[in-house]
Chain A
Amino acid sequence: MDVIKLDTSAEFAAMADAYERSGGDPSVLKMADVSSLVVSGNKILSANQTEGVVLEKESTESGVYIMLTIKKGYTIPNPVHLCFGVLPKEGLQQINVTMIAEEDASVELIAHCTFPNSEHVVHKMDGKIIIHKNASLTYNETHFHGKKGGVEVIPQAKITIEEGGRYYTGFTLISGRVGLLDLDYEVDAGKDAICELNAKVYGKGDDKILIKEKVFLNGENARSVIKSRVAISDNAVAEFTGVTEGHAPYARGHVDCVEVVQGNAIAKAVPIVMVDDPLAKVTHEAAIGSVDKKQVDTLMARGLEENEAVDAIVKGMLK
């Protein structure tokens, strides 16, 4: 086990504060039995690895390179916490990350990305995730942005799930302004693999949201769900593309998208489903529109004002 190197600088404190405001518990970043990594801009402020976790990291000119391996057969008892952020108003953070869950390993990763003061910040992630046979990896990423917008979030990831592997991911960006989100995830699911992709985003002002999630069910009995919940108001625009292709017998996939539109916002949903094996089945559903009137009426009949009712419904959907 590595000795924890705590950076007690003001920058670490500021990151911890931003981490807390984004819903994280900063105390976990100091716990010896919790694997964690804190990166501000291209500076690695702290890192810790526990038994079964191998965390390689290196600062680069504009960000950080990370190689995270969960060793064969290990179930990591506590979630691994990752904290990324850019505290100045401007900056570029490029995360190049490879995550590997070796055979029969199991891990949950919780990532918080904070850009509380952003006016022009670009946050890019190029990810490669490999989930080996019968391994399980859960990756939940929550963003905390400031109120001014001015952030470009561009996460791209290629995920490979081998036989019997399980991958669950959640991307949440509902606090502060989105700015630009251009998310692009692609999953190759092998035999008996299970994959669930969830995205929840709330866009306001002139935010632009592009979500592309693709799942290729290449192995027999592979299963997947792509679930997207997007609310947009003002002049925001959102486009969701959910692709699921069934290429093997008994593969089952589903694409589920709901987009709630308020004000002058514009939403578009493109579910693309394809099957080339007669024993595979892929389904989809998409709903775009204003908040359901009956839901609003019901909450108003309990005493909420109309805007409060809409807010409660949208927050519920994005919870």
Chain B
Amino acid sequence: MGGVYILSVKNIKLKRDGKELLRGVDLEIGECEIHSVIGPNGAGKSTLAYLLMGIGGYSPKEGSVHFNEEDITQFTITQRAKRGITLAWQEPARFEGLTVYDYLSIGAGGTGKVSENTLRHALEMVDLSPDKYLHREVSEALSGGERKRIEMASILTMKPKLAILDEPDSGIDVVSLKEIVALIQDLKKNGSSVLVITHREEIAAASDKASLMCDGMIVKTGSPAEISDFFIKKCKPCDVETHDLKGD
């Protein structure tokens, strides 16, 4: 990576409804790097993902976010998206009347910006039949698993510089997990950096780097093996009152 960071997060603090959700997060992601963030429920992983995307209500009270050396801390979602950042939600939204074709086209820059073949290929990449799905609505008629796959297809067509994936593995089976790992690696091959929020060791293991998050802080960053070892051997139980990791 040579010390070139596409994303640099420094001392980010976030308070919502009187509760401190992020307590000084530092994070750096290199170009074409797959970076996993793991940690227990309530650690602030999804909060960090929303903050990085600029979702309303997740503006930091302190700290900075730089993307390609530009300060984007106060940027809107659209401004960030136009610079190449996008987010795949853990629970993707449903859209009555909006077809998969419409949805993928929006991610690809608008209807007509890419060929239908490109959109069909993206669906094939997530193991969905284009003939069956391209003209279906992204609505409640689709299962949660189908919508997650379409969400991933949307990310593939967008070709972002940084894809933030919030638990792409939730609610899927082991076979699909392997597909998700392959898709993340495809994103990297196509030039994207990937920040993936996950509980799954298989995804963390396929990353270039991993960070352990606990109680609103990045506790440790290193290779996936280091973080996994650290998590298993030294991180149970976590003393959230003092932020000291017992046995550390």
| A interface with B by C-beta (< 8 Å) | 229, 258, 292-295, 297-306, 312-313, 315-319
Contacts and interface: CB of A to CB of B under 8 A. Distances in A.
Contact of A300 (B77, B98, B158): B77
B89 A303 contact: no
B121 to A, nearest CB: 18
A316 B95 contact: yes
A304 B102 contact: no
Given A295-B93, A298-B92, A298-B93, A303 B98 contact: no
B109 interface: yes
A292 B102 CA distance: 18
Given A292-B93, A302-B158, A317-B97, A312 B106 contact: yes
Nearest to B78: A300
A318 B87 CA distance: 27
B246 to A, nearest CB: 38
A297 B94 CA distance: 12
A300 B81 contact: yes
A302 B55 contact: no
Given A294-B89, A306-B78, A316-B102, A301 B97 contact: no
Contacts of B80: 301
Contacts of A313: 95, 98
Given A301-B53, A302-B81, 15 more contacts: A294-B93, A297-B53, A297-B93, A298-B89, A300-B76, A301-B77, A301-B81, A301-B85, A302-B86, A303-B78, A303-B158, A304-B78, A306-B76, A316-B97, A319-B97
Q: Counting chain B CB atoms within 10 Å of each CB, which of A292, A303, A313, A315 scores highest?
A: A303
A229 B109 CA distance: 28
Contacts of A258: 96
A292 B77 CA distance: 16
7 contacts: A293-B56, A295-B94, A301-B80, A302-B86, A302-B154, A312-B106, A315-B97
Contacts of B53: 297, 301
B128 to A, nearest CB: 18
B82 interface: yes
A283 to B, nearest CB: 16
Nearest to A316: B97
Q: Which 6 A-B pairs have the closest CB atoms?
A: A316-B97, A316-B98, A300-B77, A319-B97, A302-B107, A303-B81
A305 B77 CA distance: 9
A127 to B, nearest CB: 27
A111 to B, nearest CB: 22
Interface in B17-76: 53, 55-56, 76
Nearest to A314: B97
Q: Counting chain A CB atoms within 10 Å of each CB, which of B86, B89, B94, B97 scores highest?
A: B97
B136 to A, nearest CB: 13
Contacts of B77: 297, 300-301
Contacts of B93: 292, 294-295, 297-298
Nearest to B87: A301
A225 B95 CA distance: 21
A294 B86 CA distance: 14
A312 B78 contact: no
Given A294-B89, A300-B77, A302-B106, A312 B98 contact: yes
Contact of B106 (A303, A306, A319): A303
B76 A303 contact: no
A258 B94 CA distance: 14
A300 B78 CA distance: 5
Contacts of B81: 300-303
Interface in B157-172: 158
Given A294-B89, A297-B77, A298-B89, A304 B97 contact: no
Interface string B140-165: 00000000000000100010000000
Nearest to A302: B107
Contacts of A295: 93-95
Contacts of A229: 96
A295 B102 CA distance: 14
Contacts of A319: 97
Given A292-B93, A302-B81, A303-B81, A297 B56 contact: yes
A305 B78 contact: yes
A319 B87 CA distance: 27
Contacts of B55: 297
